[in-house]
Amino acid sequence: MTRKRIRTLSTLAVLSLSLSLGLGLMMLAACNAPDGEPQTNSEPVAPNQVSDFDTLYAQNCAGCHGGQGRGGAALALANPVYLAIVDETTMRDIVAKGVRGTSMPAFAQPAGGMLTEHQIEVITNGIFSRWARTQVLDGANPPSYSAKAAGNVDHGQVVFGTYCASCHGSGGGGTSKGSAITNDSFLALVSDQALRTIVITGRPELGAPDWRGNLAGRPMNDQEITDVVAWLASRRVENPGQPYSVSNYARHSEK
């Protein structure tokens, strides 16, 4: 055997050994990775294939409802009283279709959103499985989620004075204890149902009690809640947030 051929065979043997060692190290690294953990060279998951609740909630809900459902610009979803009042079908519809005329958008693809039907299910089921408490209303006589009758605006003003004015002011303009809830922009961005929900379930993250805690020993009844919502809704204005009254707007523009 010539020296040239010996050198060639030696070189091939070294390359083969290097390749085997390289493959062995790659397999060892893969075996050492935690089960189910994606590798650095794995393909990214498409947005419509994400099915992890934490990811979906963080991307679509936390901006308004707060991390871990603790509340923010919108009410806390991790409020067991709220989850005992609203049913899963209604919650699913709200997530999917949004609430027209408010700041709650639709997330389902058929309604113009980005989420699949399965992803809507993941969010809805996750909210209830993590934060609902089945016995939270045991012994209570909770009002219905939706109004059963028409509201009486005049009586609603009386109800507001009895249950709400001590924190929110006699006209709803707010005090040091509670926010302004007759604010033009607030009322323009919240539906009647959302007002009812807040009255029933409170905003515990803001220190606002549910329907049982506004007046010691005297929970609000269903009709009183309906009436106070009617009074609040009657306070909406046609042009919310406008810095000048309609009568003064033209005069200001001329100046």
- The whole model's pTM is what? 0.74
Reduced to 3 states (helix: H, G, I; strand: E, B; else coil), residue 232 is: helix
Q: What is the mean pLDDT of residues 16-40?
A: 53
225 class by beta-carbon count within 10 Å (0-12 exposed, 13-18 middle, 19+ buried): buried
- CA atoms within 13 Å, Cβ hemisphere of 240: 13
Alpha helices in the chain (DSSP H): 3-32, 53-60, 62-65, 80-85, 88-97, 117-131, 153-163, 165-168, 184-189, 192-201, 222-234, 246-254
Inform me whether the pLDDT recorded for 20 exceeds 80.
no
Phi, psi dihedral angles at 203 (to 5 degrees): -130, 80
The rounded percent of the chain whose pLDDT value lies above 70 is 78
Q: Which residue has the higher pLDDT, 172 or 34?
A: 172
94-128 confidence digits (pLDDT tens): 999 998 878 899 999 999 999 999 999 999 999 99
State the DSSP code for 133: -
CA-to-CA distance for 137 and 129, rounded, in angstroms? 17
CA-to-CA distance for 143 and 157, rounded, in angstroms? 19
CA-to-CA distance for 95 and 174, rounded, in angstroms? 30
CA dihedral 34, 39, 45, 50 (to 10 degrees): 10
CA distances from 136 to 63, 130, 140 (A): 27, 14, 9
Token pair in block for residue 230: 């009617």
Residue 248 CA to its chain's centroid (Å):
39
